[in-house]
Structure 1
Amino acid sequence: MTKDTLHGTGIQKCECTAPDEQESCNCACENDSTPTTHNDKLIDFKQRSSELRKKGLLSSSVSAFEATRALAFGIMYLTGEGVVRDTARAAEFLATAAKGGISQAKHELAKLHLEGVAVPYDPDYARLLLEGASDDEYLPSTVYLAEMYLFGKNGPKDIEAALELLYVGAAKSDPAAMYYLALIYDKEAEYQNSFEAAYWYRRAAEYGHFKSQIRLASLYAMGQGVPQCPETAQAFLEVAQESLEEQDPRFLLWQGEHFVAQPETEFLAQALIQAAADMHHTPAQRVLMQRGWRR
């Protein structure tokens, strides 16, 4: 057996000595030789890199103390609390903590890989991190994964996978999981069920979930899944308005513009757009003026 400088091993040299060079050799080595091509020897570096990251993630070679310490530094550099914000350093510490099996570190590192901030954009690795944290019963990762499947973010849309994860979150009384369940039954054509939507919006609203309170108000205004009752709709709107100052005015305007389309929910639209305008949101102020709603 000899080594070919181009193709590697696999080229056999006959060491027999035939009395006549014209005479063909009948030894087994000639018939058994199986030449290989250099294409079989190429390394897929992207695949190898992913495999190494997975191996590093799944092997807990970091002590609990070191992992906890790394998480603290990672969050500190990620948020800029007490230090200059440095996402690159944060990612290094979070990677160490993730190897030590800390779910929060896996979650935060996954978000960085999904955003491609200070680390390569790698949705497959991010999904692996989130699945690991979710398997460890870290609820934020369970809901985050469900959101990815629900909206098709960084991967294919999969409502069944989202539902499976969301029911896990809802069983643990997570209002965001309840809200997304309601949203599926409210908006997804193949799963629409106004009664299920109303049930889950109400469950989330009981935990003070602002978006669910607004959606539930619209259902009572329209009589979808619940009896039509403008008074109840107004009551849920008033509860939601208590936390309006904490909300993004862009969301308030977006939701209000959706409610404008139906006469039954126009009063909701006016209240939400007015709240956005009170936050000095110029587009909302413009809509108020166009509709003559300016107070």
Structure 2
Amino acid sequence: MMNPSFVVIIEFNDITLLFNQLKFVFNVKKSNMKSNSIFLFALILTLSFPVCAQTLEQANAQLKRKEYRSAYSSFRKLAEQGNSQAWGTLGWMYINGIGVSSDNTKGISWLKRAAEQGNIGAQLYLGGIFLSSTVQPKDVNQSAFWYRKAAEQGDPIAQLKIGELYAKGEGVERDLQEAMLWIHRSATQGNIDAQVVLGGAYMAGEEYLKINNRH
């Protein structure tokens, strides 16, 4: 079972949403917007940050203490507030049945929401899910798509995986030069697995890549 690589953070969008909600609650008129904006923003800082920080701290602590049902409830609340990092954590929890009944459909849905916002952990996890057949039927096109997204953000594991997919022509058109490029990028970041594959390719030729992939 994988450990979550999703770190929950407070996002500016959450504060912007709260600001707009408070404007509605207090029925601020355009004519009074300038005079009331400072008051509303100060109110947001006073009320929202302590609550959010406490909730985030609680959720992470609960997960660390293996209080999974409580952690699920905390992350669910954060997710409903629009926190993209919490989306990824919820996806992981649904896939693995942590604190909630296992539901692959919901898990993948939450993971995709996080991945679409650039969450590398979610992108990497989706790449693995679609490459295997343990969660749902194998889909190498989706696997390559998400591994590529994470690789472009500099993740060394994803760089190796997309390199291997290019070497075998799975989910992407077979391209050994592209494969070597991504595997080299991974290796230069210290990924030992990539260094081993790259060393074998240099010694035995690029064709080594076609028959020595790990998936």
Other-structure match for 1:221: 203
Structure 1: stretches of 5+ with no match in the other structure = 1-59, 227-254, 259-295
Cα distance between partner residues in 1 of 2:76 and 2:170: 40
Q: Say whether 1:75 aligns with 2:57.
A: no
TM-fit CA distance, 1:93: 1.0
Cα distance between partner residues in 1 of 2:107 and 2:89: 9
Question: Contact 1:88 / 1:119 at 8 angstroms: preserved in 2?
Answer: yes
Counterpart of 1:137 in 2: which secondary structure?
coil
Other-structure match for 1:94: 75
Return the TM-score normalized by structure 2: 0.66
Cα distance between partner residues in 1 of 2:179 and 2:133: 21
Other-structure match for 1:147: 128
Other-structure match for 1:48: none
Structure 2: stretches of 5+ with no match in the other structure = 1-16, 22-46
Cα distance between partner residues in 2 of 1:215 and 1:114: 30
Cα distance between partner residues in 2 of 1:177 and 1:114: 20
TM-fit CA distance, 1:196: 2.3
TM-fit CA distance, 1:179: 1.2
Counterpart of 1:156 in 2: which secondary structure?
coil
Cα distance between partner residues in 2 of 1:163 and 1:98: 27
Q: Percent same amino acid at aligned positions? A: 22
Picking from 196, 207, 211, the partner of 2:189 is 207
Return the TM-score normalized by structure 1: 0.50
Other-structure match for 1:105: 86
Other-structure match for 1:167: 148
Cα distance between partner residues in 1 of 2:92 and 2:48: 23
Kindly indicate whether structure 1 or structure 2 has the higher relative contact order, using CA contacts under 8 Å at least 6 residues apart: 2
* Count of aligned residue pairs for this structure pair: 165
**Equivalent residue letter for 1:219:** A
Change (3 A) 1:189 1:97: closer
Question: Contact 2:169 / 2:175 at 8 angstroms: preserved in 1?
Answer: no
Cα distance between partner residues in 1 of 2:156 and 2:196: 14
**Equivalent residue letter for 2:92:** K
More helix by share: 2
**Which ranges of 4 or more aligned residues in structure 1 deviate by more than 6 Å?**
60-63
Flag the structure with larger Rg. Answer: 1
Question: Contact 1:67 / 1:99 at 8 angstroms: preserved in 2?
Answer: no
